[in-house]
Amino acid sequence: MLRVSTLYRNIVEEEGLKTKTLRPTDRIGKFRKIFPKMEKWLNYIDKFIIFSIELIGYNILNYYNKNIVYHITDHSNSIYSLCLLNKAKVITCHDVLAINSMLGKNPKKRLKFSGKLLQKLILVGIKCNHRIVCVSKKTENEIRKLVDDKNTKINTVLQPLNYKFEPIKKEKAIRIVIKQIVQYNECIENGFILHVGGNQWYKNRMGLCAIYNELNSIRSNLNQSRIPLILAGKKPTRELVCFAEKHRDLKIIFLISPTNKEINALYSLANLLLFPSIEEGFGWPIVEAMACGCPVVTTGKEPMTEAGGSAAIYIDPSDSVSAAKITNEVINWSKDRKKMQAELGFQNVKRFCRKAFAQEYRRAYEDALGINKKDSSD
């Protein structure tokens, strides 16, 4: 989330606000090389003990400055709210997926005892904030249920993209990605299906492969050529590798840890982005792809529908046959139809602008200061 914090800082500074970034420093965590099995716990000491002490110290040093607003840019760090109980605070909530897993609402993701304890503390920390900003209406609705406090002001602010995604001409885009997938020149030239994301259960990478398998069966029955699938993101799980090995007749390509520049090029070359997530905090690849003129086929439920608006094509990922049929229809669109969809995407992307974001957060900071002053006078 460091990139998100940097994005927020840059945008609000453009609005004329002064900022200072406070974050944990790698101190005890340096011993991970000596104690590799203790890496997680060493990082926790840096993050939750040492930095909390430093944050309290910073708060004391600035005790008389009543115009400071502490913005916790990621809800997973909400524990720091406990160090700032009497200070003006704003927290940004990106999703409640892990909290819902702690509450037993996500049977596909069960947490260990330490994970449950951490999420309980995160929820307590979130509730210590009277000004909460969410990245989607879905997250906002879920946070309202979890917080259930009429004194807490909660709203949604759409985030701008953290990279200048834009259409790239085919020749230039090919030059950008050719080194990464040089052995797959054919798919670069003739198009492919793209997925961008990690291995989290809700990203539904195996469901994606099931849809892709059905898609190629449909295309084979229609005497249409096979179309490759590129999964750009984290290193594939063993399950994904086994699927690819079992279906060697399909062209499944894993592109590990691509840069934003490479992802931009892939969006510009792809026939479409296939994004069949089960859950999301928001679903940034949907907006990124549209910014590059790439058609988007994604899950027809919130928050994907919020990100895609009327510019995306929606499917039910649990019905792989139906999803594959819809995907194939998009692949076979005429040039005019693709151009029209790209224009819809460009219009949709305009909703995620830096100026509106900065203005909304300025209001949130003013709210937090007003709430804090009111609480101090009571």
User: What is the model's pLDDT at position 28?
Assistant: 86
Which residue's entry shows tokens 């907006």? 287
User: What is the model's pLDDT at position 375?
Assistant: 65
Q: Tell me the backbone φ, ψ of residue 305, rounded to 5 degrees.
A: -70, -30
The model's pLDDT over 323-372, given as tens digits with 9 standing for 90+, comes to 999 999 999 999 999 999 999 999 999 999 999 999 999 999 999 998 76
The model's pLDDT over 5-17, given as tens digits with 9 standing for 90+, comes to 999 999 999 989 9
User: What is the model's pLDDT at position 183?
Assistant: 58
The model's pLDDT over 266-293, given as tens digits with 9 standing for 90+, comes to 999 999 999 999 999 999 999 999 999 9
Between 22-31, 63-72, 136-145, 280-289, the lowest mean confidence (pLDDT) is in: 22-31
pTM over 0.85: yes
User: What is the model's pLDDT at position 153?
Assistant: 95
The model's pLDDT over 137-175, given as tens digits with 9 standing for 90+, comes to 999 999 999 998 888 999 999 999 989 999 999 999 988
